[in-house]
Amino acid sequence: MLSFVLSIFPIVLLIYLMVKRNALPSYVALPWIATLVMGVHLLHFNTDIVTISANVVSAIVAVQTPITVIFGAILFNRFSEISGATNIMRKWLGNINPNPVAQLMIIGWAFAFMIEGASGFGTPAAIAAPILVGLGFHPLKVAMLALIMNSVPVSFGAVGTPTWFGFGALKLSENMIFRNWVYYSIYTLRCCTYYPIISTSYLSKLG
């Protein structure tokens, strides 16, 4: 029981430190928690320092994959802002259809899905939400809609990074990975039938 408590305590503490009123920034909270985890391994689980050091090095190497993807997504977003491409997209998407429901579906759903497949990691919400706000939608409701809609295609985001990288440590066979993709595709298709209806009815003037 003590081992279980000590295993989940760092996670609970990390969440608390980052969501409390005077939250710590991630670059402060994460090293603290990492040090705590190392201490728990050394003092309670009696893990030798060589094994811990090897795991730290392995983690530093493995984390380069999501970091490079996130860096590319942020770079794409910044280039779009600096070059004026975001403003052009905002004007073009805003002029497609004056109907608020159509605007929500085109920008918050279809356009966000396309961006998710290319970069992922929050980029769709970061790009689609300001466009919708510029069209006159309520900022808080738009943020909620963008995040809810962006929760559907996440497994296909960044060219499937959550799947091939996330499942990589499990050493699954190709057939098992393919079967998981089929299951998730069916689940995504089911979500696509009611997510847009709920979200748009809540946010649009028809809601």
Which tens digits make up the pLDDT trace of 106-116? 888 888 888 88
| Whether 19 and 89 share a structural domain | no
Buried residues in 90-123 as b, exposed as e (16+ CB within 10 A): beebbeeeeebbebbbbbbbebbbebbeebbbbb
| Whether 57 and 92 share a structural domain | no
| Whether 58 and 69 share a structural domain | no
| Whether 32 and 99 share a structural domain | no
| Residue the block writes with tokens 């990074």 | 161
How many folded domains does the chain comprise? 2
pLDDT of residue 134: 80
Backbone angles phi, psi at 170, to 5 degrees: -80, -10
Confidence of residue 28 (pLDDT cuts 50, 70, 90): very high
Task: For residue range 52-84, list pLDDT tens digits in order.
Answer: 999 999 888 888 877 887 787 778 778 878 888
Task: For residue range 97-134, list pLDDT tens digits in order.
Answer: 778 888 888 888 888 888 888 777 777 877 788 888 88
Q: Within 13 Å and on the Cβ side, how many CA atoms surround 139?
A: 3
The pLDDT of residue 32 is above 80 = yes
| Whether 58 and 86 share a structural domain | no
Boundary (domain end) residue, out of 44, 62, 80: 62
The pLDDT of residue 204 is above 70 = no
Q: How many CB atoms lie within 10 A of CB 151?
A: 11
* Mean pLDDT across 8-29: 91
Q: How many CB atoms lie within 10 A of CB 135?
A: 17
* Mean pLDDT across 135-145: 84
| Whether 49 and 117 share a structural domain | no
| Whether 89 and 177 share a structural domain | yes
Q: Tell me the pTM.
A: 0.64
The pLDDT of residue 207 is above 50 = no
| Whether 33 and 122 share a structural domain | no
The pLDDT of residue 142 is above 60 = yes
Classify the phi-psi angles of 156: left when phi > 0, otherwise alpha if psi is within -120 to 50, otherwise beta: alpha
Tell me which residue range forms the domain holding 148.
65-203
On whether the CB atoms of residues 115 and 130 are closer than 8 A, the answer is no
Element (H, E) at 123: helix 123-134
| Whether 152 and 53 share a structural domain | no
